[in-house]
Amino acid sequence: MAGIIKKTINAEFPGPLRYFTGYFVMLVGAGITFLVQSSSVFTSALTPLVGLGVVTLERMFPLTLGSNIGTTATGMLAALASSGDKLHNSIQIALCHLFFNISGILLWYPIPFMRKCPIYAAKCLGNTTAKYRWFAIFYLIMMFFALPLLVFGLSMLSVWALAAVGIPLVILMMFVAIVNILQRKRPSALPEKLKNWEFLPEPFRSLDPLDRLISKVRDKIGSCCPCRKNEEKMPVSDHMPTMYNGNNANTGAPELTAVHYNAGDESATAISSSSHMPNGSVISNHVVAL
């Protein structure tokens, strides 16, 4: 089944029609989202498939863009259900939602080079989250709460305050992005000092200091948790899985084991420190594939 899905979703139109594959995929994503009335359901169902490699990230991108268009149908239907005196404003807001998503597609998709930007950003964020598990929550808090509140607060002060803070930040982000690209593509074009970021203090070039701080706080909180204290007081045999082989099944003597699951081949491996084989011999660190 996974092979069929992989070949079908990731397929391309033949010949000159290959260019229009992404736009057709957008229509599919918009149509399915319109049917289920939820872009979250659609993207959440596909996200595990991307993680397993069944759906490529390049194919998930137009599906998500189409889903963003399909979800505007919910707002449009709600606007049409409004009363007569509020119908004009309701439709206006629904159309703002629609054209905002369309403008995002026009910005990031028609030009092939621009498609690489969000895909590359998604890969960087995914790799960072894989290394620092707390980064996902940190990213959500910063992008959905802290940054909007900052922009809103500065805009409430004055447009000049927003420009005074926003323009330097945008210029700095563009500079860092350009230097990062040159460091990978053409390091010879950069001055010796800018060929890497080692000259900066560690908090400005790495998340390791923040990771160490969060780990200390987490361990401190965990050490105060009554549940963890109870687990530490429990005997090892009370919370470790046991495995019985041919020799100890009748005697009832438990054998401590640990189980390792391999996601690649969907197999599990039970590891015991001293496993008795059926012929009575003892093999240390015996590994039994389940």
Q: Model confidence over 89-121: pLDDT tens digits?
A: 999 999 999 999 999 999 999 998 899 999 999
Tokens found for residue 15 = 């010949």
Do 195 and 186 touch, CB atoms closer than 8 A?
A: no
Is the per-residue pLDDT at 217 higher than 80?
yes
Mean pLDDT value across residues 198-210: 92
- 8 A C-beta contact, residue 226 and residue 212: no
β-sheet bridge partners, residue 259: 270
- State how far Cα 73 lies from the chain centre: 26
d(CA 282, CA 6): 46
Q: DSSP 3-state assignment of 37?
A: coil
Q: Are 189 and 181 in contact (CB under 8 A)?
A: no
Which of the residue ranges 53-67, 90-104, 263-277 would you say has the lowest mean pLDDT? 263-277
Structure confidence by residue, pLDDT tens digits, 224-260: 766 665 655 655 555 555 444 444 444 444 444 443 4
Q: How far apart are CA 101 and CA 69, in angstroms?
A: 6
Closest CA to 133 of 52, 57, 214: 214
pLDDT tens digits for range 112-170: 889 999 999 999 999 999 999 999 999 999 999 999 999 999 999 999 999 999 999 99
On the CB side of 125, CA atoms within 13 Å amount to 12
Which is higher by pLDDT, 251 or 185?
Answer: 185
- Tokens 């003597």 — which residue? 253
Q: What is the DSSP letter of 256?
A: B
Identify the residue with better confidence: 5 or 38: 38
Burial class of residue 123 (count of CB atoms within 10 Å of its CB; 0-12, 13-18, 19+): exposed
What's residue 52's pLDDT? 86
Summarize pLDDT for 6-48 with one digit per residue, the tens: 888 888 888 888 889 999 999 999 999 999 888 889 999 988 8
Q: Which residues contact 285 (CB under 8 A, 6 or more apart)?
A: 271, 272, 273
Q: What is the pLDDT of residue 211?
A: 93
- Given a contact cutoff of 8 angstroms between Cβ atoms, the answer to whether 75 and 86 are in contact is no
| pLDDT at residue 229 in the model | 57
Query: What percent of the chain clears pLDDT 90, i.e. is strictly above it?
Result: 50
Q: State the pLDDT confidence band at 206, using cuts at 50, 70 and 90.
A: very high
Distance CA 29, CA 46 (A): 11
Q: Is the confidence at residue 263, as pLDDT, over 60?
A: no
The alpha carbon of residue 186 and the mean position of all alpha carbons in its chain are separated, in whole angstroms, by: 29
Taking alpha carbons only, the member of 110, 28, 41 closest to residue 69 is 28
> Using an 8 Å Cβ cutoff, are 109 and 63 in contact?
no
Range of lowest pLDDT (81-90, 202-211, 254-263): 254-263
**Who contacts 119 (Cβ-Cβ below 8 Å, separation ≥6)?**
57, 58, 61
Residue 68 has what pLDDT?
93
Report yes or no on whether pTM surpasses 0.75: no
Strand 274-276 to 287-289 pairing: unpaired
Beta partners for 130? none
